[in-house]
Amino acid sequence: MSAIVSQLAHYNAKVARSRATSEPTWVRWTLIISALLFLSLFLFIPLAAVFTEALRKGFETYIAALVEPDAVSAIQLTLIAAAISLPLNLVFGIAAAWAIAKFEFKGKSILITLIDLPFAVSPVIAGLIFVLIFGLQGWFGEWLIDNDFKVIFAIPGIVLATVFVTFPFIARELIPLMQAQGKEEEEAGLVLGASGWQILWHITLPNIKWGLLYGVILTNARAMGEFGAVSVVSGHIRGLTNTMPLHVEILYNEYNYAAAFAVASLLAFLALVTLGLKSYIEWQSGRTASANEKASDQ
Amino acid sequence: MAKKHKPNNVLPGFNLSLGYTLLYLSLIVLIPLSAAFFKTTELSFAEFWHTVTTPRVVASYKLTFGASLFAAVINAIFGLLTAWVLTRYTFPGKKLVDALVDLPFALPTAVAGIALTAVYSTNGWIGSLLEPLGVKVAFTPLGVVVALTFIGLPFVVRTVQPVLEDLEAETEEAAASLGANRWQTFSRVILPALWPALLTGFALAFARAIGEYGSVIFIAGNMPMVSEITPLIIITKLEQYDYTGATAVAVVMLIISFLLLFAINGLQWWSSRRNSASRGT
């Protein structure tokens, strides 16, 4: 009986509380609808437009735009650029996070700011700096000609520009995560006789796997979608130095809208997969976090 | 005794990881960026100043900074609204909407550019509705604002959302029990707590918008003096093999971006300090 009374009292308090700290229904729905209207104007409608424009001339034209040789070579180059820049930035991200999260040293906050630099640099400038170094008039320009090696207007330049623009993503994801986790577990491993690599492989990496995966998919999305930086260094040679976003631009400027949107729809689909994975990771890491909390409570 | 001096030396790999970090950072970021500053030393200061202040370049600064500011203000207002709706209310499809807010981070800018152009041109879904009202978006400076709003959309939402989630219900209840109405509670209790996060999101959206290229060039129309952004000036100069001119304009943008980056770091430091302080009491 007293349980029911206390439950009722609790319920009444809850109602009073929600009335005092929430808005009338009409305010609520006005706010929800204005937010959705804003998001529709800038997000949902443009996203829907990509797929409708792609299929405007029918499914056959759509498929034809994706299997023509220039499109296929653009897809391949995009995959190559992502496949090279991902592991490079992955190793860097783990090394940087290890040094910054597990050790104290002077100038740490400057180092973190420097890692952030590529976020602040316009993609166009990211391309420009590699032209200044490896271009014809650049620092290594003559040396590269003498040795018959091309960086600018070739694949190495595209990879370099991609590495630059995706540089901070994984490190930025891992540093706060590893700082929050501390180093007790690693020290315990050390006491039990594990080597440095064993600690990294068996303790640190399993602890940071969700953050790592999160950083990897963000890096991958940006690597495959980068336009400005790659556009400066690529030279837009069809079938040779064209990535998917550049191929979209060429088709669009040729007024071949259906084909441009067909290739764009592939990239948009990739973006949606990225967002899906991201939500899944957030859900999973939230679950592990709450499971850990429960375990430590008991 | 040695342990007392270096209490963090227990774990291995410090020299290796920091050494590799510094090497990779220098090779990929610092040395290439310094190339831009070295290149401008080929110009005398008068030449440099002349290059970066020609009317066409100045017009592009005005457009780039004006449109970025406008877009960041739109994002601050509607980002706050979106974050509020996503944390406080329930409605069908909320999780999907929450996930899609990050679309501008994941969607390649070129795709965003052609999609926005298709939607906002005079025969597009939204453009055709605006044309009778006398509003032209695509191929005008307004188009630049639309593209930059898209690009900066997630920043304010994602900086404000966690702070809003962490706000204690007790403070709002206290305000209500002291006789404040809902608007007073919002403007005097909730908004001050959100202020640092809101400002950080605003600055991030602004910084991102200044450098943006891919989504803008399709919708802008790129008319010199009217709808030509500064990154496009750099590209145009590069295509004319005017490397020093392109670099001079790039250096101006780099300096502004670096100043913004430091301002943002300061803001984030302020905001995290305020959050931990308010949680401590």
In a domain, B30, yes or no: no
The pLDDT score that the predictor gives to residue A237 is 78
- Beta carbons of A157 and A151 less than 8 angstroms apart: yes
How many interface pairs between A and B have CB atoms less than 8 angstroms apart? 283
Q: A39 and B176 in contact by Cβ < 8 A?
A: no
In a domain, B60, yes or no: yes
Among chain A residues, the shortest Cα distance to B36 is held by: A129
Q: Which of residues 90-129 of B touch A (CB under 8 A)?
A: 91, 95, 97, 99-112, 114-116, 118-119, 124-126
Which residue range(s) make up the domain with B203?
Answer: 43-280
Residue ranges of E strands in B33-152: none
| Residue B131 predicted with pLDDT over 70 | yes
The pLDDT score that the predictor gives to residue B3 is 40
| Amino acid found at B222 | N
Which pair of tokens denotes residue B114?
Answer: 């052609």
Lowest mean pLDDT among A81-90, B5-14, B35-44, B121-130: B5-14
- Beta carbons of B268 and A119 less than 8 angstroms apart: no
Give chain B's domain count: 1
Which pair of tokens denotes residue A96?
Answer: 């940087």
Q: How far apart are CA B44 and CA B95, in angstroms?
A: 56
Mean pLDDT confidence for B173-200: 88
> Sign of dihedral through CA atoms A234, A239, A244, A246?
positive
In a domain, B17, yes or no: no
Best B5, B23, B29, B73 member to test A by mutation, with max A CBs in 10 Å, is B29
pLDDT band at B5 (very low <50, low <70, confident <90, very high): very low
The pLDDT score that the predictor gives to residue A16 is 52
Q: What is the dihedral of CA A190, A195, A196, A198, to 10 degrees?
A: -100
In a domain, B263, yes or no: yes
Query: CA separation (Å) from B104 to A39, A274, A275, B153, B222?
Result: 11, 12, 10, 7, 22
In a domain, B112, yes or no: yes
Residue B202 forms contact with A (CB below 8 Å): no
Q: Which of A232, A226, A214, A221 is nearest to A285 (CA)?
A: A214
Which of A41, A120, A275 faces B106 most closely, judged by CB atoms?
A: A275
In a domain, B24, yes or no: no
The pLDDT score that the predictor gives to residue B1 is 38
Q: A264 and B146 in contact by Cβ < 8 A?
A: no
Residue B161, domain CATH: 1.10.3720.10
Which of B115, B150, B211 faces A123 most closely, judged by CB atoms?
A: B211
In a domain, B54, yes or no: yes
> What b/e string do you get for A29-59 counting C-beta neighbours within 10 Å, with b at 16 or more?
eebbeebbebbebbbbbbbebbbebbeebee
* Helix, strand, coil % in chain A, rounded to nearest 5: 80, 0, 20
Q: Which residues, 6 or more positions from A267, have their beta carbon under 8 angstroms from its beta carbon?
A: A224, A225, A244, A245, A248, B107, B108, B110, B111
Q: A42 and B118 in contact by Cβ < 8 A?
A: no
Segments of chain A with pLDDT less than 70: 1-20, 293-298
Q: How far apart are CA B144 and CA B212, in angstroms?
A: 10
Half-sphere exposure of B178 (CA within 13 A, CB side): 10
Mean pLDDT taken over chain B: 90
- Beta carbons of B60 and B232 less than 8 angstroms apart: yes
Residue B78 forms contact with A (CB below 8 Å): yes
Read off φ and ψ for residue B42, nearest 5 degrees: -65, -20
Which of A125, A196, A244 faces B234 most closely, judged by CB atoms?
A: A125
Best B5, B6, B11 member to test A by mutation, with max A CBs in 10 Å, is B11
Q: Which of A185, A183, A269, A177 is nearest to A214 (CA)?
A: A177
Q: What is the pLDDT of residues B227-276, one digit of tens each?
A: 999 999 999 999 898 999 999 999 999 999 999 888 888 887 887 777 66
Q: What is the pTM of this model?
A: 0.89
> Sign of dihedral through CA atoms A171, A177, A183, A186?
negative
Contacts of A113 in chain B (CB under 8 A): 261-262, 265
The pLDDT score that the predictor gives to residue B170 is 84
In a domain, B98, yes or no: yes
The pLDDT score that the predictor gives to residue B74 is 97
The pLDDT score that the predictor gives to residue B125 is 93
